[in-house]
Amino acid sequence: MPPPERDAGRLSGVRPDESDVNLDDYFGNFAARDWQTAAEGTVRIALLGLGGFAREHVLPALASDASNVGARSDAAADRTRFCEVTALNSGSPEKADSVADRHGVGTVLTYDEFEAGEGADAFDAVYVAGPNALHLDYARTAADHGKHVLCEKPIETSADRAREMVRACEDAGVTLMVGYRPQIEPAMRRLREMVRDGVLGDPVTFHGWFTGHILDAGGPDQWRLDPEMAGGGALMDVGVYPLNAVRFLLDAEPVAVRATTTTPHDQFEGVDEHVAFQLEFPEGGSASCSASYHAQADDRLRLVGTEGQAELAPAFDSEIAPTLTVERGDQRVEYTGPFVNEVAEEFDYFAHCVLTDARPDPDGRDSVADMEAVEAIYESAETGRRVEVGP
The pLDDT value given to residue 228? 97
What residues does 325 pair with on adjacent strands? Answer: 311, 334
Per-residue model confidence as pLDDT tens digits over 209-250 = 999 998 987 888 899 999 999 999 999 999 999 999 999 999
pLDDT > 50? residue 71 = no
Whether the CA torsion 351, 353, 354, 355 is positive or negative: it is positive
Q: Phi and psi for 111 in degrees, rounded to 5? A: -65, -35
pLDDT-derived band at 73, boundaries 50, 70, 90: very low
Range name among 90-94, 114-118, 270-274 with the lowest pLDDT average: 90-94
pLDDT of residue 77: 54
What pLDDT digit, counting tens, does each position of 241-258 carry? 999 999 999 999 999 999
Residue 378: band (very low, low, confident or very high) from pLDDT cuts 50, 70, 90: very high
Residue 7 has pLDDT above 50, yes or no: no
pLDDT mean over 100-116: 94
- Whether residue 52 has pLDDT greater than 90: no
- Beta-carbon contacts of 20 under 8 Å, excluding residues fewer than 6 positions away, are none
Domains in the chain (CATH in brackets) are 10-31+182-339+361-388 (3.30.360.10), 43-181 (3.40.50.720)
pLDDT of 74 reads 42
pLDDT, tens digit, 9 for 90 and up, residues 318-369? 889 999 999 998 899 999 989 999 999 999 999 999 999 999 999 999 999 9
The residue-averaged pLDDT of 144-155 equals 98
Q: In what order do the strands lie in the sheet with 256-262?
A: 10-14, 331-336, 323-328, 308-313, 298-305, 203-211, 286-292, 274-280, 256-262, 387-388
Closest to 176 in 3D by CA, of 134, 125, 240 = 125
- Whether residue 75 has pLDDT greater than 70: no
CA distances to 6, 66, 81, 214, 322 from 75, rounded to whole Å, are: 10, 12, 12, 31, 20
Q: pLDDT band for 94, please (50, 70, 90 cuts).
A: confident
Q: Does the pLDDT value for residue 66 go beyond 80?
A: no
Q: b/e per residue, 148-187, with b = 16+ CB within 10 A?
A: bbbbbbbbbbbbebbbbbbebbeebebbbbbbbbbbbbbb
Question: How far apart are alpha carbons 206 and 289 in whole angstroms?
Answer: 8
325/13: higher pLDDT: 325
Alpha-helix residue ranges (DSSP H) falling in the chain: 52-53, 59-61, 93-103, 111-116, 135-144, 159-172, 186-196, 227-230, 234, 240-250, 342-356, 364-383
The predicted pLDDT at position 11 comes to 63
CA quadruple 182, 48, 230, 95: dihedral positive or negative? positive
Instruction: Give the residues across from 88 on adjacent strands.
Output: 47, 108
Contact assessment for residue 87 and residue 114, using Cβ atoms and an 8 Å cutoff: no
> What was the pLDDT predicted at 390?
85
Query: Above 50 in pLDDT, residue 187?
Result: yes
In this prediction the pTM is: 0.92
Average pLDDT of the residues in 304-325:
96
Task: Read off the pLDDT of each residue in 5-14 and give the average, rounded to a whole number.
Answer: 56
